[in-house]
């Protein structure tokens, strides 16, 4: 078990932290190992944000699940193969998936995943429908009213892409623009929206209530922002009250030229997922950002490897644990504050 040395413990007054979790599909199992290392180091998560698999991890943190409980969920309670729930239409020999794509805009329904999320939240909150009103955080003395309402009111922040309005959405806050009350928005539904890989899972729709223009199609947040590491940052010149850590999934040969062979719509979808998971947010990372990011090797696994056996799931878990331990062994709060102050005053 990893413990802080005395100098580390003395300089970390609260051991609170905000967390940002990258999207990455099945590879997100690695987050659980990293969370175990953070728990052993004594950290408690304040606000958490995530895209796709990162939204899943963030929602379980917000619900109060420990890393050990998450490992059990990922290891034995979730049947990853059932994630590919094609339904009755998808069962038609040879053409079933294509019929789903034609009539439902996605190969798989995503209903199994939504049911699992609702069950997991039900077990922690003791109610059938868990909404963001169950995840409201108290206002901190250092929070401005605007910052609290826009970024810190809810413990959980889910990244999604509104393709009807061609814009990024942070759930639940941004549903207010559609005339929907953020407090009443269902947590499991928000996470289901964030995992809606285009063409792979059927997209979900949010009805606009402000002017009756119809429904908004909302899909995987990774389409626009797969790793919003700066979401919780303090304003320029301010000292952060606690650190923000980013958990990034690193594929083998990251940064090296990659050639994707695309021969069908399915292979195109997989290529699109890979692009979403490695593109825009990573290009914008600066040196100071990298010093607060845990890069977790994901080995041979891809985001859509839903046929993983329980044994297969051990490798990414251990990889996440090792990466987080190595990071925390050398991390310093004093150095973090100095670096963040330098960055915020230069921007």
Residue 1: inside a domain, yes or no? no
Confidence check: pLDDT of 283 > 60: no
Lowest mean pLDDT among 60-64, 200-204, 265-269: 265-269
pLDDT at 37 over 90: yes
Provide the total of helices (H) and of strands (E) in the chain, helices listed first. Answer: 14, 10
User: Residue 146: pLDDT above 60?
Assistant: yes
59 is catalytic: no
Span 54-81, pLDDT tens digits: 999 999 999 999 999 999 999 888 888 8
DSSP state of 21: E
**Is residue 30, in this structure, part of any structural domain at all?**
yes
Confidence bin at 9 (pLDDT 50/70/90)? very low
Q: How confident is the model at residue 213 (pLDDT cuts 50, 70, 90)?
A: confident
Q: Is the pLDDT of residue 6 over 90?
A: no
3-state secondary structure of 19: strand
Write down the catalytic residue from 85, 134, 174, 220: 220
Residue 5 clears pLDDT 50, i.e. is over it: no
Q: Return d(Cα 3, Cα 328) in angstroms, integer.
A: 10
Q: What is the pLDDT of residue 13?
A: 44
The pair of three-digit structure tokens given for residue 14, joined into one six-digit string: 């609260």
pLDDT in tens, 291-323: 899 999 998 888 778 888 777 889 999 999 999
Task: Look at the block and give the residue holding tokens 């928005």.
Answer: 185
Q: What percent of the chain has pLDDT over 70?
A: 81
Is the peptide bond preceding residue 178 cis, with omega within 30 degrees of 0? no
The single residue of 52, 59, 161, 319 carrying the catalytic annotation is: 52
Q: What is the pLDDT of residues 150-174, one digit of tens each?
A: 999 999 999 999 999 999 999 999 9
- Whether residue 2 is contained in a domain is answered as no
Q: Decide if pLDDT at 254 tops 60.
A: no
In the chain, how many domains are there? 1
In a domain, 3, yes or no: no
4 within some domain:
no
| Entry pTM | 0.86
pLDDT score at 260: 58
Residue 12's pLDDT band (cuts 50, 70, 90): very low
Q: What DSSP string describes 262-315?
A: --SHHHHHHHHHHHHHHSHHHHT--HHHHTTEEEEE-TT--TT-TT--TTTTHH
Which CATH number covers residue 318?
A: 3.40.1090.10
Look at residue 180 and tell me if it is in a domain. Answer: yes
Among this protein's residues, is 220 annotated catalytic? Answer: yes
Q: Has residue 287 been placed in a domain?
A: yes
Highest mean pLDDT among 70-74, 93-97, 206-210: 70-74
In a domain, 7, yes or no: no
Write out the residue range of the structural domain in which residue 30 sits.
15-346
């Amino acid at each position: 078990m990893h413990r802080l040395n005395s100098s580390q413990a003395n300089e970390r007054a609260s051991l609170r932290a905000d967390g940002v979790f990258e999207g990455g599909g099945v590879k997100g199992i690695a987050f659980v190992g990293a969370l175990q290392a953070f728990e052993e180091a004594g950290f408690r998560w304040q606000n958490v944000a995530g895209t796709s698999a990162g939204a899943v991890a963030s929602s379980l943190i917000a619900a109060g699940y420990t890393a050990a409980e998450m490992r059990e969920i990922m290891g034995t309670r979730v049947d990853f193969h059932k994630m590919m729930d094609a339904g009755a239409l998808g069962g038609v020999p040879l053409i079933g998936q294509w019929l789903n794509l034609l009539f439902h805009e996605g190969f798989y329904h995503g209903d199994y995943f939504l049911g699992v999320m609702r069950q997991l939240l039900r077990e922690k909150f003791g109610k059938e429908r868990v909404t963001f009103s169950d995840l409201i955080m108290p206002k901190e003395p250092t929070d401005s009213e605007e910052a609290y309402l826009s970024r810190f009111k809810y413990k959980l922040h889910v990244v999604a892409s509104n393709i009807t309005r061609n814009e990024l959405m942070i759930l639940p806050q941004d549903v207010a623009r559609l005339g929907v009350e953020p407090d009443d928005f269902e947590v499991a539904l928000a996470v289901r929206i964030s995992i809606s890989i285009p063409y792979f899972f059927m997209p979900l729709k949010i009805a606009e209530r402000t002017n009756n223009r119809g429904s908004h199609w909302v899909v995987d947040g990774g389409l626009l922002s797969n790793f919003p590491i700066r979401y919780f940052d303090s304003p320029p010149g301010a000292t952060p009250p606690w650190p923000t850590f980013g958990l990034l999934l690193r594929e083998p040969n990251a940064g090296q030229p990659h050639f994707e062979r695309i021969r069908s719509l399915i292979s195109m979808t997989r290529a699109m997922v890979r692009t979403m998971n490695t593109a825009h947010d990573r290009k914008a990372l600066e040196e100071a950002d990298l010093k607060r990011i845990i890069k977790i090797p994901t080995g041979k696994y891809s985001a859509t490897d839903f046929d993983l056996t329980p044994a297969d799931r051990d490798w990414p878990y251990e990889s996440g644990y090792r990466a987080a331990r190595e990071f925390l062994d050398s991390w310093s709060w004093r150095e973090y504050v100095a670096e963040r102050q330098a960055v915020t005053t230069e921007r």
